[in-house]
Every structure is written in C-alpha cells, then in structure tokens.
Structure 1
Amino acid sequence: MDHTAHHTGSTHEHAGHEVGGVTWAAAAKATLHCLTGCAIGEILGMAIGTALGWGNVPTMALAIVLAFVFGYSLTLFAIRRAGLGLRTAIKVALAADTVSIIVMELVDNGIIALVPGAMEAHLDEALFWTSLLGGLVIAFLLTTPVNKWMIGRGKGHAVVHAYH
C-alpha cells in the first residue's frame, strides 16, 4: 500500500493547489487511506450491531472500536511490510492515523446520530446505507483539510514517509 501523502517536490506542480508543500491530492490520498480502514470497521460494526438488534450505544461503540482497529491495521501492515519492528510500527501507525480517525469518527457518527431514524434503520433499508455512506463521504470531505494541515507540519501521515 502506497503512503505517499507528503509532497517534497516543486510547489508549482499542481498550479495553485498546493500550500506548505502538501497538495490537496496528497491530503485526499492520505484521507482515503484512513477512510478505507474506518469504513470497513464502521460498516462492519453497524451491520453487526444492527443484525443482532443491539441498542444505539453498543452498536456505535462497536463500530467506532472496529473503525480504529481497521484504520490502524492498514497502516500497521504496510509499515511492517517495509521492515519495521512491531513496536516501532505500532508507534508510527498511532502517530499517523489517530487524529484522522478521531475526526472521521466524530463526523461520521455525529451524522448518523443526527439523521432521524438512521440508528433504528435495519440492514435492508435504504436509510441505513444512505446515512452510513453519506456520513463517510462528509467525514472524508471534512477530514481532508485536517490531514493536509497535519501533513504540512510533519505530523499525521507524514510520519509514515520516513519508513518508505
């Protein structure tokens, strides 16, 4: 998995779309990486909780825990493949993804909680899927600027680049 979210080349490459050495495309790529792990965990957690008839709080808690697990795992596995030891890889994954996952989960779960009937919707209802996927899209849009800001300051996904 490619983690090239920090740009180190010319500031003219993307014609005005770059600030502080980080392109919007690079920030979006880092956010999409994070979103992938979060979406897997979020969808799995919501689907499990809903299928088992759990209440809102335990379902959302499971979805959040799984979003963090899968979000960190994607980075962790990629860094381990690059040859880092487990302890160092865990530290890098935590540094790379924590803020991004927190922002994404706050936005996504906040939207799901605010959409009337979304938490009571069942797996076979459009409201379940539209609120869940719509929340992930909005979370992506709001998390991308956060990641751009962090990467531009050598934080977040920028820490992964020292190991590629």
Structure 2
Amino acid sequence: MDAERLASVQALAEMLTARNLRVVTAESCTGGGIASALTDVAGSSSWFECGFVTYSNEAKSRYLDVSPLVIEEFGAVSEQTVREMVAGAVNNSLGDLAVAVSGIAGPGGGSLEKPVGTVWFAWGNEDQQITECCHFDGDRESVREQAVLHGIRGLCRWLCC
C-alpha cells in the first residue's frame, strides 16, 4: 500500500476507534478496493464491519435495497443510487456508517452525460449522507485507484464534521 493510502487508512482507523464506530463499504466500480485497503491494516477487525461488492444493478437492489426505479430513472452511476447504497449498507449490517461508490472506470461504458472517469460517492448512515461526483483521469486502474483513495478520505471528512 502506498504511503498516502496508508496514512489515510490509519487516520480513519484512529477516528473510528476513538468513537467506537464500525464502517461498511458498498462498492461497484472499485470492486472491493476500499474494503481491501481498509483490511490491509492490522487490527481493522475492531472497526471494519463488512463490505458489499454490488457490481450488477440486480445486486445493488438485492443486497443494498437500492430501488430498481431509482436505477432505471437515474442510472447506477448517480447521486440517488449511491445514497441508497449507503443506507442499504448500514441497514443490512452492524455498521454505523458507510461509503458507497459507483462509477465508470472504463475503458468503455461512458457517455456524453457520464464519461469514463465519472464516479459518484456517498458517505454517511441510513439517515444522512453527503455525496460527491468526481471525474478522474487515466486508465481503468488509475480511475479505480483514485476512487479508492477518495472514498477513504471522504470517510475521514465525514467523521470530522
């Protein structure tokens, strides 16, 4: 793990431990990369609850309670979908807060409205979330790496608020 990612995970671990909170991940385009980064740190079992990798729309609905109507109207890569992913991740686990990520890592799959590199994030719990849309440059691996780091940093920001 690179130094920047390690420092972010360690900062997150300290905040979660100090507040006695457990985190959940709900990932699509990162394919479990955030969960992997979090569990790379020894002792993460005290603050990491679980991770959901819901790549298909059906999995988002089945395991995270994302409404199929939301996906149909707004798409899997949308603010509405990641909000529901966060709420579903917390509701379907023993976690206190979650990060959700859904995006278009490429090289295909983009559109004029949502080009490759578009990634939606949400952080929060079942009642309150903050969201952000990012546009990352680079190839598939680069987009995913940037999304993993941004997801972890967003958890830190959520806990600082």
TM-score (ref. length: structure 1): 0.33
More helix per residue: 1 or 2? 1
Higher RCO (CA 8 Å, separation ≥ 6 residues) = 1
More strand per residue: 1 or 2? 2
TM-score (ref. length: structure 2): 0.33
